[in-house]
Chains A and B, each alone.
Chain A
Amino acid sequence: MTENNPPWIRICKLEDIPRLGARRVDQPQGPQIALFRTQDDQVYAVLDACPHKGGPLSQGIVFGHAVACPLHNWTIELEDGCARAPDKGCVKKFQVKKEGEHLYLNALEINVIET
């Protein structure tokens, strides 16, 4: 749109994500990404796979700036993508750009498949 380096891809509007909720971004060829919106309208993007057993974080309950994984209730901090102690492990974080009401992800970042 406005910038080409890095290439930002428009994903959706802020209002497309429920407050204290999430949406899943489906990439047929790339990693699945969970996009979260907190009560104070902060938006975070992380890989949609809990560091514990790969649970889909996008389906968890969002509170504060954290999400509880729906499978075994690990709490993942959205600021840094890391599990709250004493659980250990981090999930990959992605940059989110907010321009007006639109949200963008960085194409260079999200196409990298991590194993």
Chain B
Amino acid sequence: MNIPSKLKLVMIGNGMAGVRTLEELIKLDPDLYDITVFGNEPHPNYNRIALSPVLSGEQTLDEIVLNPLSWYDEEHITLYLSTTVLEVDRIKRRVSAKTDLGEEITADYDRLIFATGSTPFMLPIPGVELDGVLAYRDIADTTAMIEAAKVYKNAVVIGGGLLGLEAANGLSKRGMAVTVIHVADWLMERQLDPTAGQLLEQSLKARGLKFCIGAQTQSLVAGPSGRVSQVVLKDGQCIEADLVVMAVGIRPNTALAQACRLHCERGIVVNDTMQTVTDPRIYAVGECANHRGIAYGLVAPLFEQGKVLANHLAQMGISRYVGSLTSTKLKVTGIDLFSAGDFMGRSGSANTPVQKAANLESSSDTEEIVLSDPHDGVYKKLVIKNNQLVGACLFGDTVDGSWYFKLLRDARNIADIRDKLMFGESNLGDVGHEGQTSAQSMSDSAEVCGCNGVNKGQICKAIKEKGLFTLDEVRKHTKASASCGSCTGLVEQILMFTAGGDYSATPKKKALCACTEHSHQEVRDAIAAESLHTIAAVMERMNWKTANGCASCRPALNYYLISTWPKVAQDDPQSRYINERSHANIQKDGTYSVIPRMWGGETTADELRRIANAVDKYQIPTVKVTGGQRIDLLGVKKEDLVNVWTDIGMPSGHAYAKALRTVKTCVGSEWCRFGTQDSTQMGKDLERALWRMYAPHKVKIAVSGCPRNCAEAGIKDVGVIGVDSGWEIYIAGNGGIKTEVAQFFVKLKTAEEVLEYSGAFLQLYRLEGWYLERTCHYVARVGMDHVKEKILTQADTRLALWEQLKFSLDGEPDPWFEHAQARVDTRQFQALELVAPSTP
């Protein structure tokens, strides 16, 4: 027998970060390792974050198991529960452990993961060893607290941080009289500023909790039974207590790592691939790891670490963990609280790990915008530095928490929205999805995702039952926000309050798709800088994880190549979505629609006759007038497409493409008694200059002849409105999923200028936009100032862009007629035929 044996992977710890790493690894390569896991609790991997809802009685223990024992079986993982690892011998590469029954176990390893988590810090005060004194860390602690609440009356929680307050709230809900002792001057001082901390105290007091703020615990005193009965404070005050929960902080659990002489420093020190700096065979992940000086305690960063580690274990060594920004939300139902980044601003200095992660320092050059309404219990503070949002602290109204967090992560310049910032995303003139902005106020039966018919209850249920933590996971399992994406904000909110405080949106850099770690921008930059001309070259240069990409990245790459290298890079039809491959829109029954181009929305009797004849000849079931002033023929069979195009004899309307669609016009000065400019002619000129222009997404233009604006130019990518003295140009409007009013861009005198400025703006968008990003999102991302700088201020840049666009479009074929030039594979229009089975 000479079967090459698998590598042996041993993991110490059976918690969320570690097991997530194994899941990611198994996804990448299920057969590479024999996996052994040691866990010192008697439970399989469970959702530690959900212990608070369990304590308060909102969830049961069974509901929070993430990986049942059957999962370990199915994945052939050897699991030792209730087993403590005693020693790691790095020379022999052997782990020795002991079960709670005294049985000794050893396991050899080729790779070893420390996922030992953290241990709660117990104050070194007299009485800490007494019965009835607990930490709050695992299922055993939670169960002990639930049991105690059945028998005893008085509880004291030491520590008014996130965990302590959740414990206090849970115990209070279970009927105990709870006092919280907190050493700092206000509650949750690592997440809140003094004002928000005091508001929090008030609302918790209203729920029956008592507080000793700024108080130090001196000792714990036993009663006659030997169980704790009193807590004594430094100032001499005594508080009755049958149960004491210490929640004063956690420390990375590094005892074992130190014993085998791995370098530790508030955590096991690892590099960007989660490898320990001491021993290349050993990795650390999760709360026990110290990455660039930070040991994270929230789940989202830990899952990111797990993903990176899995990548390395699967020998695909291409990803790095570079740290995370985190935000906090309290899991006490009914209390809305959110904080992120430098939440203190000028009013104090807070040196939290969060700030170090963000490389932020509280300093005097920050500014604050504050809204405070004590009557309704609402307090919001936004901290701004150099025109960027660097911190937020919200109490009572956290609807915009995820939006602020996004602005913060993206380091977006907020100068242009500063006056509206405090009032939230819904006040940006963007009505949002059905006007819904607050997920928390929605009922369970309220629909969140209108595309896929998913309601709030279904999303909450999936998050709880399937243990989902990221937006992507929710999309995969529920389809919510997986189609048009307009409800993404709502879904993020639901995720935040269902998965709780440990949810945080993931990294600033978003990978283009699962095939790569690189973002859209990185891919665009590389294509331009390194003269990459083919999809294969991009994939090779940028270490694509898949052989030929997927349905998300290939169309994006194809677009980036042809827009960056016009006349050089060749279009790849097989990397285009079916509509752009067959130059017609696929319908739900597999037939297609045909929309011929009508310049500026004008047509003739002759064209209409040809259309009518084709409708009869090919028995086209539906003829419809579109919103873009054209005629849509619906229900055309694929094999008839070429003949219908030929018979009608009008150019392709590109209604199927990420390209210039229509130029909608009003009648204008030729006929209209109000018209000030010949909008129809302007529209026709724009359409003739710009048609066949592929773009990151579809592009719509409208031209109105007077400010009455009958062509609805205010919701177009480029809107042109004629006034007596010339033309006003508006850009980045959108009438689709989210209505966005176009912004005034410039006023021009002549029709030639309109062509030049519009073309230059669209070329800038073509070069800088990310695939599937409409102009409104593109301009929101790069900022209107950037666009104005390039087009209005820099006249030479504007001219160069306009020339580039003309060069790109010159000689572009009409795909309906010039099949070979447009690389249309005409074989697709004929089905392969079956004659009869061959006879012998």
B834 touches A25 (CB 8 A): yes
On whether the beta carbons of B574 and A68 are closer than 8 Å, the reply is no
Q: Does B583 contact A (CB under 8 A)?
A: no
Q: Nearest Cβ distance between residue B22 and chain A, in whole angstroms?
A: 17
Q: Does A1 contact B (CB under 8 A)?
A: yes
Docked CA distance A72–B551 (Å): 12
Given the known inter-chain contacts A7-B838, A8-B838, A63-B548, please indicate yes or no for A70 contacting B577, CB distance below 8 A.
yes
Whether A11 and B834, one on each chain, are in contact in the complex, defined by CB atoms closer than 8 angstroms, is yes
Q: Report yes or no: A18 in contact with B578, Cβ–Cβ below 8 A.
A: no
Q: Is B837 within 8 A of A18, CB to CB? A: no
Residue B47 lies at the interface, judged by CB distance under 8 Å to chain A = no
Contact of B833 (CB < 8 Å), options: A26, A64, A86: A26
In residues 7-53 of chain A, which contact B (Cβ within 8 Å)?
Answer: 7-12, 16, 18-21, 23-27, 30, 35, 39-40, 53
Q: What is the CA–CA distance of A89 and B122 in the complex, to the nearest angstrom?
A: 52
Residue among A16, A26, A53, A54 with max Cβ neighbours from chain B (10 Å) = A26
Q: Is the CB of A60 closer than 8 A to any CB of chain B?
A: yes
Partner of B590, one of A9, A27, A55, A75: A55
Q: A107's closest neighbor in chain B, by CB?
A: B837
Cα A8 to Cα B839 with chains together (Å):
9
* Separation of A71 and B825 alpha carbons in the complex (Å): 21
Given the contacts A16-B827, A18-B825, A70 and B476 also touching, CB distance less than 8 Å: no
User: A35 to chain B: which residues have CB within 8 Å?
Assistant: 832
User: When A11-B832, A59-B578, A63-B546 are in contact, do A73 and B476 touch as well, CB less than 8 Å?
Assistant: no
Does B464 have its Cβ within 8 Å of any Cβ on chain A? no
B234 interface hit (Cβ, 8 Å): no
B550 surroundings in chain A (CB, below 8 A) = 61, 63-64, 68, 75
Contacts of A39 in B (CB 8 A): 547-548
Which chain A positions have C-beta within 8 A of B828?
A: 21, 23
Q: Are A20's CB and B832's CB within 8 A? A: no
In the docked arrangement, what's the CA distance between A53 and B836, Å? 30
Q: B477 interface residue, CB < 8 Å from A?
A: yes
Contact A24 B825 (CB under 8 A): no
- The answer to whether A62 touches B838 (Cβ under 8 A) is no
**Interface majority SS (helix, strand, loop, mixed), chain B:** loop
Contact B549 A63 (CB under 8 A): yes
Residue of A nearest to B466 (CB): A86
CA–CA, A23 and B827, complex, Å: 8
A74 CB, min distance to chain B CBs, angstroms: 10
Residue in A21, A27, A68 whose beta carbon sits within 8 Å of that of B825 in the complex: A21
Q: Is B624 an interface residue (CB 8 A)?
A: no
Q: Do A60 and B547 touch (CB < 8 A)?
A: no
- CB-CB under 8 A from A25, the residues of chain B are 831-834
- Asked if B555 is an interface residue, CB under 8 A from chain A, the answer is yes
Residue ID in chain A nearest B536 by CB atoms: A39
Q: Are A18 and B546 in contact (CB under 8 A)?
A: no
Complex-state Cα separation, A16 to B825, whole angstroms:
11
Q: How far is the CB of A73 from chain B (nearest CB, A)?
A: 7
Contact with A along B573-584 (1 / 0, CB 8 A): 111111001100
Q: Which residues of chain A (85-111) have a CB below 8 Å from chain B?
A: 86, 105, 107, 110
Is B736 among interface residues, defined by CB-CB distance under 8 A? no
In the complex, are the beta carbons of A86 and B476 less than 8 A apart? Answer: yes
* A64 CA / B514 CA spacing, docked (Å): 13
- In this assembly, does B554 line the interface, its C-beta being within 8 Å of a C-beta of chain A? yes
Q: Which of B572-611 contact A (CB under 8 A)?
A: 573-578, 581-582, 586, 588, 590
Question: Are A60 and B832 in contact (CB-based, < 8 A)?
Answer: no
User: What distance in Å separates the Cβ of B830 from its nearest Cβ neighbour in chain A?
Assistant: 9
Contacts of B554 in A (CB 8 A): 61, 63
- A to B contact number (C-beta, < 8 Å): 98
Q: Are A59 and B838 in contact (CB under 8 A)?
A: no
Given A59-B590, A71-B588: A16 and B832 interface contact (C-beta under 8 Å): yes
Is B840 interfacial (CB 8 A cutoff)? yes
Bound Cα distance A14, B835 (Å): 18
- Could you say which residues of chain A place their CB within 8 Å of the CB of B546? 63-64
Instruction: Report chain A residues within 8 Å CB of B577.
Output: 61, 70
Q: How far is the CA of A53 from the CA of B577 in the complex (A)?
A: 18
Q: Is the CB of A60 within 8 A of B590?
A: no
Number of interface residues of B (CB under 8 A): 35
Contact status of A56 and B834, CB under 8 A, knowing A70-B578, A86-B477: no
The reply to whether B574 and A1 form a contact with Cβ atoms under 8 Å apart is no
Assembly CA distance A28 to B697 (angstroms): 38
Residue in chain A with minimal CB distance to B555: A61
Residues of B within 8 A of A59 (CB): 578, 581-582, 586, 590
Q: Which residue of A lies closest to B587 (CB)?
A: A71
- Within the complex, what minimum Cβ distance (angstroms) separates B513 from chain A? 11
Closest to A39 in B: B548
Name the A residues within 8 Å of B476 (CB-CB): 86
- Closest chain A CB from B638 CB (angstroms): 8
* A9 lies within 8 A of B551 (CB): no
A4 on the B face (CB < 8 A): yes
8 Å CB contact of A1 from B831, B836, B838: B838
Once the chains bind, are B838 and A9 in contact (CB under 8 Å)?
Answer: yes
Given the known A-B contacts A4-B840, A8-B838, A35-B832, are A64 and B578 also in contact in the complex, defined by CB atoms under 8 Å?
no
What per-residue 1/0 map shows which CB atoms of B770-813 lie under 8 Å from chain A?
Answer: 00000000000000000000000000000000000000000000
Residues from chain B with a CB closer than 8 A to the CB of A60 are 551, 578
B590 near A68 (CB under 8 angstroms)? no
Known: A25-B832, A63-B551, A86-B476. A19 touches B838 (CB 8 A): no
Residues of chain A within 8 A (CB-CB) of B573 are 18
Given contacts A16-B827, A56-B590, contact A10 B838 (CB under 8 A): yes
Q: What's the minimum C-beta distance from B471 to chain A, rounded to whole angstroms? A: 15
- Closest CB of chain B to A85's CB: distance in Å? 8
Residues on A with C-beta less than 8 A from B574 are: 18-21, 61-62
* CA A27 to CA B831, docked complex, whole Å: 9
Write 30 A-B pairs (CB below 8 A) sorted by A numbering: A7-B837, A7-B839, A11-B832, A11-B834, A16-B832, A18-B573, A18-B825, A18-B827, A19-B574, A20-B575, A21-B574, A25-B832, A25-B833, A26-B831, A27-B834, A30-B834, A55-B590, A59-B578, A59-B581, A61-B577, A62-B574, A63-B550, A63-B551, A63-B554, A68-B550, A68-B551, A71-B588, A75-B551, A86-B476, A105-B834
**Given A64-B548, A70-B577, 19 additional A-B pairs, CB 8 A:** A1-B838, A7-B837, A18-B825, A20-B574, A20-B575, A21-B828, A23-B827, A27-B834, A35-B832, A53-B588, A55-B590, A61-B575, A62-B574, A63-B554, A68-B550, A70-B586, A71-B588, A72-B483, A75-B551
5 closest A-B pairs by CB = A26-B831, A68-B551, A107-B837, A4-B840, A61-B551
